[in-house]
Amino acid sequence: MGLISCLIPNITSAQCWQQKGTDLAGNDELENIGTSTCMSSDGMTVASGAPQYNNLAGRVVVHAWNGNAWIQKGTDLIGLTTFERFGTSVDISSDGNTLAIGARNNSDSATTSGAVRMYEWNDSVWQQKGSTIHGNLSGQGLGQFIDISDDGRVIAIGAPFRSTGAGTWETIGLVRTYHWNDTIDDWEQLGSDLTGIQEGDWFGNSVSLNGNGTVLAVGAYFSSVFGTYAGYARVFAFNNDDWQLHQTFEGADEESLGQDVDLTPDGHSLIIASGANNDDYLLAGKARIYHYDGIDYWNSRGEISGETSNCFLGQSVAINAAGDIIVVGGRSSANSPQWSDKGYMAAYSWLGGDQWQKIGEDIEGSVDNDLFGESVAISDDGNTIAGGAKQFDGNVSNVGLVRVYESCVASIKEKANHSFLFSPNPSSGIVETDLGEFYHSVTVTVKNSLGQIISKRTVSTQQLSVILPKNPGTYFIEVTTENGTSVQKVVKL
């Protein structure tokens, strides 16, 4: 059986992003949809929060891709009380069927103590799963930031404003984690509270869990422990029934390290943002990437800096599953006037060592003050990204929106006959396939996610083996015979 004959564009010319579907915009004035944004692992489900909807009651809207357009998945999820700011934070499980929503100003337990509600999709509607998780102190703001495990059974909740109650607004900050207990059919706290080091840390202003909920990263971007407003980030591992400190990343004076954090599903790659970093330009911002060696050390994999003053790069960050593609959000790109607050997001691909290369151009907001990119999300394969613009003006002001983009590489249709597939995929090193018949000339080209040629060879064979590059990531194997060309995407672990 031969390969299907079909011409394809050269991947090296496909370093760009194209919008997938139409804008996911709000309807009401000042609702600020896009304040929070998340997506499922495959990038086919997107949820966005509008915490100022309907007198600050807030709402969350979920959309699913049907192959041609974004359609709403279920009805709006709306805050239960005025001023609770439901949708301040939102996260979704890997399969897109479990949803966590924070309402930082909920006052059911105490004034603005905060709350989090979990929901599960039952094929027709979103149903609340378990009891509402409440803060316990006035002004605590539990639910300001949240993150859930891939299966939606573990949740980390940040409350950066108040932790122990030692002072009215001591702002040390805390993070609480919960897991789903099948026996009691409800949420149960997992381990002890995690708190900041000193007053003013705002510990818990950003949180991220790995895929199975056993590794936790927390940011404290307002802290002056290691320098004036230097900030810091910490990584914890769950061991012996509690969270154990694994690593502390220290910021420098006035860089606000820890403004946002994101872990890969395996917990071995981490991106940390410092939106006020001044190393290259005043308030240019920076994002640092680290990789765990599997023993005891986090190695630097380089950093991304804002390209001009007042970029504030790193207001939001996200990393794909392989840790080789990142997306960062900032206030003003190099293409916009400073302080325009149009907002933008940009994606980068890891080239090895500490080198990163931008994928395509910056994606900017429509007009000044949109604040596009203040929230960002990325799919596991890195081929789908989303950004929120909470101050976008539609028919009325500040309705907000979310835009989803797809890599031009991802839009190339795989042309292989379905019997021609490399396996295993993902792979730790070698993939193989049966071409169906013997070919005297088979040209095999391996390209990275930027379309750059990693290797190329010509062989005579029916059984084809390909050694993948050393570095983990997404690659494209292009196979050409006299019958045509086939391309398949593979993931190197």
Total residues belonging to the chain? 493
Residue 11 tokens, joined: 């991947």
Q: Are residues 431 and 310 in the same domain?
A: no
Q: Is 482 helix (H, G, I), strand (E, B) or coil?
A: coil
pLDDT at 230 over 60: yes
pLDDT of residue 228: 96
**Rounded to whole angstroms, how far apart are CA atoms 353 and 367?**
37
Q: Are residues 456 and 319 in the same domain?
A: no
Across all residues in the chain, what is the average pLDDT?
Answer: 90
pLDDT at 231 over 80: yes
pLDDT at 288 over 90: yes
CA atoms within 13 A on the CB side of 113: 14
Q: Are residues 392 and 488 in the same domain?
A: no
Q: With bands split at pLDDT 50, 70 and 90, how would you rate the model's confidence at 491?
A: confident
Q: Quick check: 64 and 118 in contact, CB under 8 A?
A: no
Rounded average pLDDT over 345-355? 93
What CATH number does residue 129 fall under?
Answer: 2.130.10.130
Which domain-ending residue is among 407, 433, 464? Answer: 407
Q: With bands split at pLDDT 50, 70 and 90, how would you rate the model's confidence at 337?
A: low
What CATH number does residue 425 fall under?
Answer: 2.60.40.3080
Q: What tens digit of pLDDT does each residue of 384-395 get?
A: 999 999 999 988
Q: Are residues 364 and 434 in the same domain?
A: no
pLDDT at 346 over 80: yes
- Residue 417's domain comprises 1-14+413-493
pLDDT of residue 436: 85
β partners of residue 453: 447
Which domain-ending residue is among 372, 407, 442? Answer: 407
Rounded average pLDDT over 150-175? 84
Which domain-ending residue is among 407, 432, 455? Answer: 407
Of the ranges 109-123, 295-309, 321-335, 468-482, the best mean pLDDT one? 109-123
Q: What tens digit of pLDDT does each residue of 255-264 get?
A: 999 999 999 9
Q: Are residues 489 and 379 in the same domain?
A: no
Rounded average pLDDT over 65-80? 96
**Residue whose entry in the numeric block shows the structure tokens 């004959």:** 5
Q: Are residues 391 and 433 in the same domain?
A: no
pLDDT of residue 12: 33
Q: What tens digit of pLDDT does each residue of 1-33 get?
A: 233 222 223 333 346 899 999 999 999 999 999
**Rounded to whole angstroms, how far apart are CA atoms 140 and 118?**
19
**How many structural domains compose the chain?**
2
Rounded average pLDDT over 440-455? 86
Residue 37 tokens, joined: 């944004």
Q: With bands split at pLDDT 50, 70 and 90, how would you rate the model's confidence at 166?
A: low
Rounded average pLDDT over 219-241? 97
Q: Are residues 93 and 169 in the same domain?
A: yes
pLDDT at 369 over 70: yes
Q: Please report, to the nearest 10 degrees, the dihedral formed by the alpha carbons of residues 334, 378, 218, 300 taken in order.
A: -70
Q: Are residues 232 and 359 in the same domain?
A: yes
pLDDT of residue 213: 98
Q: Quick check: 126 and 145 in contact, CB under 8 A?
A: no
